[in-house]
Amino acid sequence: MTPAMQNKEVLMQVRDFSLLYKTRLGPLSAVDHVTFDLYKGEIIGLVGESGCGKSTLGKALLRMAPPQAELTGQILFQGEDILQFDDRRLRDFRGRCVSMIFQDPMTSLNPVQRVDQHLVEAIQVHEPHTPAQAALERARSLIGRLGIQERRLRDYPHQLSGGMRQRVMIGLGLVLNANLIIADEATTSLDVIVEAKLLDQFRELRDELGITILMITHNIALVAEVADRIAVMYAGQMAELGSVYEVFDAPRHPYTQGLLASVPTISLNERTELFKMGGEPPNLTHPPQGCRFHPRCSQALPICSQREPELRPVNGGQLVHCWLYQNHESQGAS
List interacting residues with ligand SF4 (CB under 6 A).
253-254, 291, 293-294, 297, 299-301, 304, 309, 322-324
Taking the complex as a whole, the smallest distance from the CB of residue 299 to ligand SF4 amounts, in Å, to 5
Q: Which residue, 57 or 297, has its beta carbon nearer to ligand SF4?
A: 297
Q: Which residue, 202 or 293, has its beta carbon nearer to ligand SF4?
A: 293
Measured distance CA(188)–CA(125) in Å, rounded:
30
Question: Which of 305, 213, 314 shows the shortest CA–CA distance to 256?
Answer: 314
Taking the complex as a whole, the smallest distance from the CB of residue 52 to ligand SF4 amounts, in Å, to 14
Q: Which residue, 238 or 322, has its beta carbon nearer to ligand SF4?
A: 322
Q: Which residue, 199 or 291, has its beta carbon nearer to ligand SF4?
A: 291
Measured distance CA(255)–CA(160) in Å, rounded:
39
Beta strands 69-77 and 43-47 are unpaired
Taking the complex as a whole, the smallest distance from the CB of residue 285 to ligand SF4 amounts, in Å, to 20
Q: Which residue, 259 or 291, has its beta carbon nearer to ligand SF4?
A: 291
Q: State whether residue 134 is helix, strand or coil.
A: helix
Question: Which of 108, 105, 262, 120 shows the shortest CA–CA distance to 194?
Answer: 105
Q: Which residue, 214 or 297, has its beta carbon nearer to ligand SF4?
A: 297
Question: Which of 261, 299, 255, 296 shows the shortest CA–CA distance to 279?
Answer: 296
Taking the complex as a whole, the smallest distance from the CB of residue 251 to ligand SF4 amounts, in Å, to 11
Q: Which residue, 184 or 246, has its beta carbon nearer to ligand SF4?
A: 246
Tabulate helix, strand, coil % of the chain (nearest 5).
Answer: 35, 25, 40
Taking the complex as a whole, the smallest distance from the CB of residue 1 to ligand SF4 amounts, in Å, to 22
Measured distance CA(103)–CA(177) in Å, rounded:
22
Measured distance CA(210)–CA(212) in Å, rounded:
7
Taking the complex as a whole, the smallest distance from the CB of residue 292 to ligand SF4 amounts, in Å, to 8
Q: How far is CA 263 from CA 127, 218, 221, 260, 275, in A?
A: 46, 11, 7, 5, 8
What residues contact residue 25 under an 8 Å CB cut-off, 6+ apart? 285
Main-chain dihedrals φ then ψ at residue 67, nearest 5 degrees = -60, -30
Q: Which residue, 138 or 252, has its beta carbon nearer to ligand SF4?
A: 252
Measured distance CA(109)–CA(168) in Å, rounded:
9
Alpha helices in 110-191 (DSSP H): 115-126, 132-145, 162-174
Taking the complex as a whole, the smallest distance from the CB of residue 236 to ligand SF4 amounts, in Å, to 14
Taking the complex as a whole, the smallest distance from the CB of residue 38 to ligand SF4 amounts, in Å, to 25
Q: Which residue, 153 or 300, has its beta carbon nearer to ligand SF4?
A: 300
Taking the complex as a whole, the smallest distance from the CB of residue 258 to ligand SF4 amounts, in Å, to 10
**Residue 21 · residue 68 · CB < 8 Å:** yes
